[in-house]
Amino acid sequence: MTDTAPALRARGAEPDEAAAVDESAGRGGLWVDGWAQLRRRPLFWIASTLILVLLVMALWPSLFTSVDPRVADLALSGADPSPDAVLGRDLQGRDIYARAIHGAAPTLTVGLLASLGTVLVGAMAGLVAGYRGSWVDGLVSRVGEVFAGLPFILGGIVILTTFNQPGRIVGEVRIVTQVVLTIVVLSWPLAMRIMRAAALEISQQDYVKAARALGAGPLRIVGRHILPNTLAPVLVFATIQFGVFIGAEAALSFLGIGLRDPVVSWGVMISEAQERVADIPQALFFPAAFLVVAVLAFVMLGDAVRDAFDPRGR
């Protein structure tokens, strides 16, 4: 099995990086190199600009529109795009553009925080399980399986109706936090399994064994060797999940337990619009377009970051 000759895969074998790995002085080398490379990628700048625009939209929606997204003129239900409402109006006669702008903040908050939370919790658990192995691996994996066995909707209904009495008004920050936590609690096992698989693979590599033999502590091994090598699958997962979680949030709203009036998100707009898509296509099309652009921006950013920092991809 010459193809797996592991010593050759160690980064130390690459002459230009040898110094960074072998010298303790080069602790930041990987990250500095990565940043230098990142700056040269146009992909990175395009993605960053898009994300910046989305963030500005989320923080200061009034820069983009002065229309109140809650005002509904039922008589204008389903109106086509016009100077009055540039993207048209939805079934309730609300301005789709204003709603999409005001929907940026909750959407991005839920998408980003849920992805981040899932990856953090899942990655942490996966790293520990994959690196320590033995009974720790068994325990973490089994707990993950118990959670993975829960139907998402059951978990969502119970968590969200337990903490909020149904039929009562719930504050905006509170409901967003709860939705994020619900998603994280019910989705971390997949991230855990991906991270665990990667950690399992890498911790058996000879360069990790070598580092251990040289007296490197577990923190150093995880931080210097395992974490950078698991970056790729985790980034792919996180950027895709960003889109998935926005969908999950919409499903919770659809069931009447997620984000609610007056909070609006793109997912909620899409799920509200689907029933009448034949009559009012703009109500589905425009929020979906916002969502595609946002997911695209994060996937591109993820790609650029991975190319820059993943030691294996260089």
Partner 1 sequence: MGRYTARRLLQLVPVFLGTTFLVYFLVWGISDDPFAGKCGQRACSPAYIAEMTERYNLDDPLVVQYLKYLGALLTGDFGQTFSGTEVSTLIADAYPITIKLALVAVAIEAVIGIAAGVLTGLRGRGFVDNLVLVSTLVLIALPVFVTGLVLRQVLGVELGWIRPSVPGDPTIGQLLVPGLVLGALSMAYIARLTRTSLMENRRADFVRTAVAKGLTRRRVVGVHMLRNSLIPVVTFLGYDVGALMGGAILTEGVFNIRGIGGLVFRGIQQQDIATVVGIVALLVIVFLLANLVVDLLYAVLDPRIRYD
Partner 2 sequence: MSLRRLATTVAALLAVVLVASACGGGGDDRSSETVTLDWGEPENPLVPGNTTEQNGGDVIGALFAGLVRYDVDTARPELETAAAIDTTDNTTFTIRLEPGWTFHDGTPVTAQNYVDAWNWTAYGPNAAQAQSFMEKIQGYDEVSTEAPTARTMSGLRVVDPQTFTVTLEQPFTIFPTTLGYSAYYPLPTAFFQNQQAWEERPIGNGEYRFEARTPNQNLTLVRNDQYAGDIKPTVSRLEYRVYSELQTAYDDLVSGNLDHVKAIPSSALSGGRWRQDLGDRAHLKEGLSTTTLTFPLYDPRFADPRIRQAFSMAIDRRLIVDQLFNGVYNPMDGLATSAAEGYLPDQCGVACRFDPQRARQLLAEAGGFPGPLTLTANSDGGHDVWMQAVTNQLRQNLGIDARYTPVPSFSELRRLANSQGFTGLFRTGWIGDYPNLETFLTQLYRTGASSNDGGYSNPAVDAQLSAADQAPTREAAVAGYQQAERMILADMPVIPIYTRPILYGDSQRLVSGERNPLDRLVTTSFQLAPQD
Residue ranges binding partner 1 (CB under 8 A): 1-6, 8-9, 13, 138, 142, 145-146, 148-151, 153-155, 157-158, 161-162, 190, 193-194, 197-198, 200-201, 204-205, 232-233, 236-237, 240, 243-244, 247, 250-251, 267, 270-271, 274, 277-278, 284, 288, 291-292, 295-296, 299, 306, 310, 312-314
- DSSP 8-state secondary structure symbol assigned to residue 60: -
Beta strands in 32-172 (DSSP E): none
With CB under 5 to 8 Å by kind, the binding choice for 51 among partner 1, partner 2, none is none
Q: From the list partner 1, partner 2, none, pick the one residue 260 interacts with, judged by a Cβ distance below 5 to 8 Å according to partner type.
A: partner 2
Our CB check for partner 1 shows the closer of 75 and 278 to be 278
Nearest alpha-carbon partner for 244 in 161, 186, 192: 186
Q: What angle do CA 78, 176, 90 make, to 5 degrees?
A: 0
Give 80's DSSP letter.
P
261 binding partner (options partner 1, partner 2, none; Cβ < 5 to 8 Å by kind): partner 2
Of 213 and 278, nearer to partner 2 (C-beta) is: 278
49 binds, among partner 2, partner 1, none (CB under 5 to 8 A by kind): none
Give 76 or 141: the residue with its C-beta nearer to partner 1: 141
Distance, in Å, from the CA atom of 82 to the CA atom of 215, rounded to the nearest integer, reads 69
CB of 290 to partner 2, least distance (A): 21
DSSP run (H or E) holding 142: helix 134-148
Radius of gyration of the chain (CA): 23
Find the shortest distance in angstroms from Cβ 82 to partner 1.
25
Select the binding partner of residue 40 from partner 2, partner 1, none (C-beta < 5 to 8 A, by kind): none
**CA–CA dist 171, 229 (Å, integer):** 41
Dihedral of alpha carbons 20, 25, 31, 34, sign? negative
The token pair that represents 124 in the structure block:
């942490």
Contact present, 152 and 248 (Cβ < 8 Å): yes
Task: Quote the CA–CA distance of 204 and 21 in Å, as a whole number.
Answer: 19
> Is residue 1 a contact residue for partner 2 (CB under 8 A)?
no
Three-class secondary structure of residue 206 per DSSP: helix
Among 223, 262, 281, 313, binds partner 2 (CB under 8 A): 262
In the complex with partner 1, the residue whose CB is nearer, 67 or 259, is 259
Chain residues binding partner 2 by CB under 8 A are 70-72, 74-75, 77, 91-93, 157, 161, 165-170, 254-257, 260-262, 272, 275-276, 278-279
